Chain A
Amino acid sequence: MQRVIRAALIAAALLAAPPLAPARAAQPYAERVREKTLPNGLKILLLEDHKAPVAVFQIWYRVGSRNEQVGKTGLSHMLEHLMFKGTHKVGPEEYSKIIQRNGGNDNAFTADDATTYFVQLASDRLQVVVDLESDRMQNLSFDDAQFEPEHKVVMEERRLRTGNNPVASLFEQVNATAYTAHPYHWPTIGWMEDIQQLTREDALAYYRTYYAPENAFIVCAGDFSADALLAEIDKSFAPVPLGDAPPAVRGIEPVQQGERRTVLRREAQLPFVAIAYHVPNLHSADGPALEVLSAILSGGKSARLYQQLVYEKRLARDAGSSFELTSLDPGLFFVYAQPFPGKSAAQIEKELLAQVERLQQTPVAAQELTKAKNGLEAGFILAQDSLFYQALLLGQYEVAGDWRLVDTYVPSIRAVTADDLMRVAAFYLTPSNRTIGTLDPLPGPPGRPAPPPMPPQGMVH
C-alpha cells in the first residue's frame, strides 16, 4: 500500500517571517499567489516563498485518463513518457540531462484529470526550465526508434505497479466495477491490452489535441521575484499559438442502484477488502463533511479503524479510508483493510460495514470531532514545509475548478458539525451505493510453499 503525504492538506499560514515573529496569522493563498493569463490562454500561478534558495516549477496539462477512449486507455500516460523524447532543438532524453547538469531533479506524473511535469532546482536556474517547457509544448518530435523502447518501458511499468501487486490490482478492479459509464472506470496507466496497441501516431495526435497553452497552466513556487519570473515566462510562452479547444468529456456515471461485488483471485499472501462509495467532491457542500468523516475513520492511530479493527479486535493488519476533495468529476470514498493472518475477508468486511453503520447511527462525540479537525488543520499547515506540496495543492485545486478554493479548506472543515457527519454518512455510505472488492488469495502451486525466509534455491559458483 502506498503511503503518501496527504497533499490535499495544505493551505495558508506561511510567511517568510522575521525571526521569532510572535504570532502569525494565516495568510490566504489568494494574497500570496500572483496570477496572470497570457493572451494565448496559458494561466500562470506564482507563489513566492523565500525560505530556501530553490524553486519548484510545474506545468499542468488538463488531460488525463479521464479524456481517453475505450481501446486507447493509457494514452495520456504513454504521451507523458514520450514528452521526454525531444524536440527539433533538444535530443531524446536530453531534457533530464540538462536539468541534472543544472543541479535539478525532474519527473512527471499522470492522473485521472491531469498530466503534470515538474522540476525542482536552485531558483536562479528557472529560466532553463521555462525554455525547455515552452519548446516541448510546441515542438515534440520523436520517431519509431524512440517510441518502441518507451512503449516497452510503459508495459514494464504496468507489470511493476499492478501486475506484481495484488492490492493495487484489487483497487483497479474496484474502480472498474464502481464506474460503468464514466472514464474513471479504467486505470490511469491503462489496460495492458490497450497499452500494447498504442502507436506513435496515437500519441502525436493526442499531443496535438491536448497540449496547447489554453489547456495548460504553470504553477511555480519558491525563492524568486514574481515580477521577474512572470516576464521570463511571458517572453518564452507568449509566442506559442492558441490551439483549438479540446473535446469535452461527456461520460456521466449513472446513480448506482444496488450493491456490486468484485472478487480478484490470484496468488497472494493475505486477503484484502476494499469498499467504495460514490461521493461528491469539493463542488458539493458535502465535500468537507466527507473529508472529516475520513479523518474520523483513519486520521491517525487513535482513529476508529485502527483502534477497532487493528488494536481492539485484532482482525486487521492494516485499515484505512480515503477520500479526494479535488477531482473534476465525483470520486469514490474508500474504506479498506487487510486481515491478520488467520482472519477472513468476510470478518473484515463485516467489521468495516459495522464502522460505517456506526457513523450513520451515532453522533461523533465533540472531543473526537475536534481531534479530527485539529489533525486536518495541522496537516494543512505542516505540509507547507514543502514547496512541492504547496505547488501540487494549487495545481490540484486548479484542475478541479479554481485554485482559490484552497482557501476555503480550513474554514469549511471548521464548520462541519456532528449532525453533518451523520447526515452525509447516511446519505452516501449506503448499501446500494457501494462496491465491495475482495482479494481472495489462491494457494501457491502444490508442493511449493510460499517462499520461506531463507533462499530456497541457491547455486554456488
Chain B
Amino acid sequence: MADQKRKAKSAELKATVRTIVPTLSTRFSLWAFSFLVIVRVATANAADPAADRRTLPNGALLIVSEQHALPMVVVQMIIDAGARRDPHGQEGLAALTADLLTEGTKTRSATQISAAADFIGASLGSSADTDYASLSLTVLGKDLDTGLTLLTDILLHPSFPDAEVKRRREAALANMKANEDDPGNVAQRVFVHSLFGDEPYGHLAIGTPPTVPGLTRKDLVAFYERYYRPEHSIITVVGDVTAADIEQRLQNGLKDWSPANVPAFAYPSIGAPHPVTLTVQKPISQANIILGQRGVARDNPDYYALTIMNYVLGGGGFSSRLLDNIRTKAGLAYSVGSFFSVNKSPGSFQVVMQTKNESANDAIQRACDEIARIRTEPISDDELKEAKLYLTGSFPLRLDTNAKIAGFLAQVEFFNLGADYADTYAQRINAVTKEDVLRAAQQYLQPEQLELVVVANLEQAKIPTTAPCGRNPES
C-alpha cells in the first residue's frame, strides 16, 4: 500500500504516451530489469552505488549507501518470505502475511500505523513478490527516527488481528475480481499457471479465489514465525545517513529479531514441457497475447548472451525486431515486446502483445517468424553493437535516484551478483559474441515448446488449436 498516497489523476487517465513498457509480472524481466545493466560510473560526482556492507549480530545483512544530496532516506528490506514459499493449497499466504504487517502490531492499531506514517509524509509499505517479501520506508531525514520505529515495529511485532485478517482477505478477493477486468492480467495469470502448474511459480502472489478464503490468522502467524527471520534478510539504506549511525540504530531496533535456522529455499523438480494453447473469451476489441515458455534463473551463465539476444528480439523497444515488424511495419500493435522473467529459479520467457481481435493470428505468426529467425541466422554486427552500446551506456540511469539505488543494491545481494558487479557487468556484456547469441537462442528458445495464451473475443480472433509456431517458416 506504499502507493496509497499516489492518486489516480483525471489528467493521467486522459494523458497518453508514445509507448509503454508493460508491467507484466512482479518478477524481474530483462525488459524492465535493465537496471542490472552496469558500467562503471567514472564521474566524480556520480551517484556511486558503492556501499558499506556489514552483517548485523542476528545475521541480517545491512548495506548502506550514503547519498547526501537530499534530506531523505530510503530503506528497503528483503525477506525470504515470497510467494514461492506458499504451501500448495494456500496460494496467497505470503502476500496476505506481508499485507497484514501494516495492519496492527502489539502496540499500534492499523489506523495508528497509517496515521503516524501519514503525519510525517512517509511511505511505509510491505508486500510479497514471487521470490521475496519486502518492506519499504521513504522518509524525510528529520523524521528518520519515527519512520524506523514504525518500520521495525511492523517487522517485529505484527499482531495479525482477526478482524484485520478478515478485512485484507476480502480485499485480496475483491482485488482479484477487479483484476479480471484487465485482460493483460488475466493472460498473465493463465500463462504462469499453465507453464508452471502447481510449482512455486505457478500462481500470482495475490493467490487464487479458491485458496485465499481458507487463509486464517493461525496460518499467517505460522508463516510469519517461520520465515520472517534475519538470516536470509537484506536491508538496504540509501540517503542522508552515515553507515555507522544507521547500523547503531538498526542494531538497537532489531536486537530482538532472532534467527531460526530457516532452510534455504529449494525449487522442486521442474515438470516436463506440455505446450498448450489456452484461450479466454472476453467481449473486448483487442486480443491480449502471451507466447512463451520456460526461461532461466538469474545465475545462468548465459544470462548475458540472453540479455543481448532478447534486446535484439523484443527487449530493445524501437530497436527490437518484434516491435519493428509488428508495430512499425505492420501497425498491428501498440505494445509488443519480449522478456525473460529472471528469478532465483528458472522463470519464463514471454512475448507479450495486444492487437485487435482480427489480427491476432497475423501478429502471432510474425512473432513466431522472428523467434525462428533469431534461432537460424546470427544477428548482424550492427545489432550486436547497438545492443552493447545501450546496455552498457544506460547504466547511469539505473542509479539516478535513491529509490533505484536501494533496489539495485538489494538485488545485487539477493542474486549474489558480487560486490564487483558494477565493475564487471560491462565486460561481461561486451564479451558476448554473435555466436554466443545464436547458441543461446537455439538453446533457450524452443518453438515446439511455446505455449500460447490469448484473451480475446474468440469469435473474431479465431485462434486455431494447432501449435502456434509449429510450422517452420523456413521449410
Contacts and interface: CB of A to CB of B under 8 A. Distances in A.
A175 interface: yes
A382 B140 contact: yes
B47 interface: yes
A294 B7 contact: yes
Contact of A300 (B69, B118, B403, B467): B118
A105 B397 contact: yes
Contact of A324 (B5, B11, B102, B120): B11
B176 to A, nearest CB: 8
B286 A52 contact: no
B82 interface: no
Contacts of B9: 4, 6, 322, 324
Contact of B71 (A148, A172, A381): A381
A303 B118 contact: yes
A165 B178 CA distance: 11
Interface residues of A, number: 132
B475 interface: no
A152 B121 contact: no
A121 to B, nearest CB: 7
A361 interface: no
28 contacts: A2-B13, A14-B69, A51-B47, A52-B47, A52-B396, A52-B401, A54-B396, A92-B328, A100-B389, A120-B400, A121-B393, A149-B327, A149-B330, A156-B331, A156-B332, A159-B286, A269-B180, A300-B114, A324-B9, A324-B10, A338-B178, A371-B119, A381-B70, A457-B278, A457-B279, A458-B194, A458-B278, A461-B467
A44 B117 CA distance: 39
B234 to A, nearest CB: 21
Contacts of A332: 10
B46 A160 contact: no
A38 B74 CA distance: 41
Interface string B201-218: 000000011100000000
A267 interface: yes
Contact of A453 (B16, B189, B397): B189
B173 interface: yes
Contacts of B10: 171, 175, 276, 322, 324, 331-332, 334
B18 A314 contact: no
A241 to B, nearest CB: 27
B93 to A, nearest CB: 16
B278 A317 contact: no
Interface string B304-335: 00000000000011110000100111111111
A382 B121 contact: yes
A399 to B, nearest CB: 11
Given A52-B46, A153-B327, A300-B5, 4 more contacts: A108-B18, A149-B328, A276-B10, A454-B193
Contacts of B177: 269-270, 341
Interface stretch (B250-258, B269-277, B365-373, B410-418): B269-277
A153 B318 contact: no
A24 interface: yes
Interface stretch (A29-37, A76-84, A197-205, A403-411): A76-84
Given A311-B111, A327-B11, A341-B173, A97 B319 contact: yes
Interface stretch (A135-143, A206-214, A230-238, A384-392): A384-392
A80 B279 contact: no
A187 interface: yes
The contact size tier of chain B is: 35 or more
B174 A461 contact: no
Q: At the interface, is chain B mostly helix, strand, loop or mixed?
A: mixed
A333 B71 CA distance: 32
A269 B176 CA distance: 10
B281 to A, nearest CB: 6
A97 B392 CA distance: 15
Contacts of A107: 17-19
A270 B174 CA distance: 9
A235 B441 CA distance: 46
Interface string A131-166: 000000000000000001111111111011101111
Contacts of B466: 461
Contacts of A93: 318, 324, 328
A3 B331 contact: no
B194 A3 contact: no
Nearest to B393: A103
Given A24-B71, A103-B394, A5 B6 contact: yes
A5 B401 CA distance: 14
A111 B71 contact: no
**Most chain A CB inside 10 Å of its own CB: which residue of B1, B10, B43, B317:** B10
Contacts of B72: 381-382, 385
Interface in B233-285: 240, 242, 274-285
B127 interface: no
A365 interface: no
Contact of A460 (B118, B122, B274): B274
Contacts of B279: 455, 457
Interface string A4-43: 1110000001111111110010000000000000000000
A322 B8 contact: yes
A300 B121 CA distance: 9
Contact of B284 (A164, A322, A334, A379): A164
B316 to A, nearest CB: 7
A155 B174 CA distance: 31
Interface in B334-367: 334-335, 354-356
A374 B115 CA distance: 12
B138 interface: yes
Interface string A163-177: 111111001100100
